[in-house]
Amino acid sequence: MHGAATPAEQTAFAAMSERRLVFMMAALMSLQALGIDSMLPAIGMIGDDLGASGNQRQFVIGAYLLGSGLGALVPGVLADRFGRRPLLLGAIVIYAALSLLCSLVTSFPVLIALRMTQAFLTAGLSVLPAAIIRDRVGGDRMARMMSTIMVVFMVVPVLAPFLGQTVLLFAGWRYIFVLMAVLAALVGLWTLRDLPESLHAEDRQSISLGPVLRNMREAFLRRDAIGYVVGSSLVFGALFGFLNSAQQLVSDTFHMGPYFPFIFGGAAAGMALANFFNSRIVERFGARRVSHTALLAFIATSVLQVLAASSGEEKLWQFLPLMATNMALLGFVGANFGSIAMQPFQHIAGSASSAQSFLRMVTSAVLGAIIGQAYDGTAQPLAWALLISGVISLAMVLFSEKGRLFRRLHPRMAN
């Protein structure tokens, strides 16, 4: 196992088409999304079979999100020393093996433990794509590539509930985990065949405690990055609150359970469309201008959600367009905030991606679990969470930008 790309691998990585790289990174990240969203239609059945009820069933989702966040601190550090490729391949093998183990469980606590372990050990699938893209490009071009990745990636939240529901039509919920293992094997074979190492020899980092701590400290404390990391953590924490309680909202609050895949897929489709448009406009207008505008619109839409939810008579036709709009606006926030936060860290991209993903995912998972557990039969807790998280996120962005919004960096500052 070598610590950096050979000259031949560097040449192969440089020659790899942008389109093929984008689709491969999206496929790797999609395994994590599949592990979350394919479960949504089956949460009730899993709870019934394994003796879990009420809000307790949300831990099938919440444990995976928390495990991903806690695990995110590890792979970037290792990837800065040993390379991106071996870490990705190892994560895929673990993902497939633990998916099969999940299909065999007979205890709800054991399932939750396996889900958290799986997410922890495979966190590199969501952490390392950003580092690999940063190995290749920076600035607004990185934001465009990450947004294009998100366009492909967001197809999974749209389709995964349908995949889960389709499996349930012909077999039990355990076969959803079998499907996850099969898809992981296919992505793993593709990665093994086509992905060269991307870590440059001059960017290889020591794994000794001193350099690791220095890199992590820099990634956590840089003012121009941390506001974007915390800001995205908050708004996506509110989104995770929706993921945790979506099945209950649709089935129990709005009494439309049989249509859950269509309703959830329709809302998630807005994020995919937003990322598509973002990939087309971000290099023209700049990641800051686009994401700052989207965050302000997110806050305004959240105000409308609070008003609708507080009326006491909110219907699905009122809730869904507003929720879909805010999910779409997050499509303009996520990739851009992530790219802005990664811009200062060209030479420690793996460590920075790990540190930022750790903070982002842990904060989002804990916040999402709190919001999900606050579900009271209405959409009010979620609506207030969206508004409060948006306002605090804006304050964090203003902190990183020293009080200025909409500015655009000079190209030499962005690389």
pLDDT digits (tens, 9 = 90+) for 335-388: 789 888 888 877 776 677 778 888 888 898 889 889 988 998 899 999 999 999
Q: Which residue has the higher pLDDT, 286 or 306?
A: 306
Q: Which domain holds residue 222?
A: 7-400
Torsions phi, psi of 314, nearest 5? -65, 135
Better-predicted residue by pLDDT, 14 or 234: 234
Q: Is the pLDDT of residue 412 over 70?
A: no
119 domain residue, yes or no: yes
**What mean pLDDT comes out for the span 99-123?**
95
Nearest CA-CA partner of 187 in 32, 68, 24, 75: 24
User: Residue 41: what pLDDT?
Assistant: 87
Which range has the worst mean pLDDT, 171-180, 201-210, 306-315? 201-210
| Per-residue model confidence (pLDDT) at position 350 | 67
Query: Lowest-pLDDT range, 127-131, 189-193, 305-309?
Result: 127-131
DSSP code for 85: H
Q: Using the structure block, give the residue that is written with the tokens 């794994």.
A: 207
- Residue 414, domain member (yes or no): no
Contact in structure between 89 and 406 (CB atoms under 8 Å): no
pLDDT value at residue 111:
96
Does residue 1 surpass a pLDDT of 70? Answer: no
The letter for the amino acid at 282 is V
Residue 275 in contact with residue 406, Cβ under 8 Å?
no
Residue 414 has pLDDT above 50, yes or no: no
- Cα–Cα distance between 218 and 229 in angstroms, integer? 13
pLDDT in tens, 195-243: 888 777 777 766 666 777 777 777 778 888 899 999 999 999 998 889 8
8 Å CB contact between 164 and 38? yes
Q: Which of 73-82, 109-118, 372-381 has the lowest mean pLDDT?
A: 73-82
Report the alpha-carbon distance of residue 142 to residue 115 in Å, rounded.
32
pTM (global) more than 0.85: no
Axis-axis angle for helices 124-136, 84-102 (nearest 10): 160
pLDDT confidence of residue 304: 96
**What does the pLDDT average to over 66-75?**
86
Averaged pLDDT for residues 105-109: 94
**Residue 276 contacts residue 22 (beta carbons within 8 Å):** no
Mean pLDDT over each residue of the chain, to the nearest integer: 86
Distance of CA 55 to the CA centre of its chain: 23
Per-residue pLDDT, 298: 96
Q: Which residue type occupies 42? A: A
40-49, 204-213, 266-275, 383-392 — which is least confidently predicted? 204-213
Place of tokens 């869904």: 320
Average of pLDDT values for 145-153? 75
Looking at residue 92, its pLDDT comes to 96
Please report, for the domain that includes residue 367, its CATH number.
1.20.1250.20
CB atoms within 10 A of CB 129: 25
* Residue-level pLDDT at 299: 97
Query: Quick one: average pLDDT of 71-78?
Result: 82
Domain for residue 335, yes or no? Answer: yes
pLDDT at 105: 95
Phi-psi region of 189 (alpha: psi -120 to 50; beta: other; left: phi over 0): alpha
pLDDT score recorded for residue 2: 59
Tell me, yes or no, whether 15 lies in a domain.
Answer: yes
**Average pLDDT, stretch 321-326?**
93
Task: Specify if 410 maps to a domain.
Answer: no
User: Does position 413 have pLDDT exceeding 70, yes or no?
Assistant: no
| Count of the separate structural domains present in the chain | 1
d(CA 184, CA 92): 6
Q: What is the pLDDT of residue 13?
A: 78
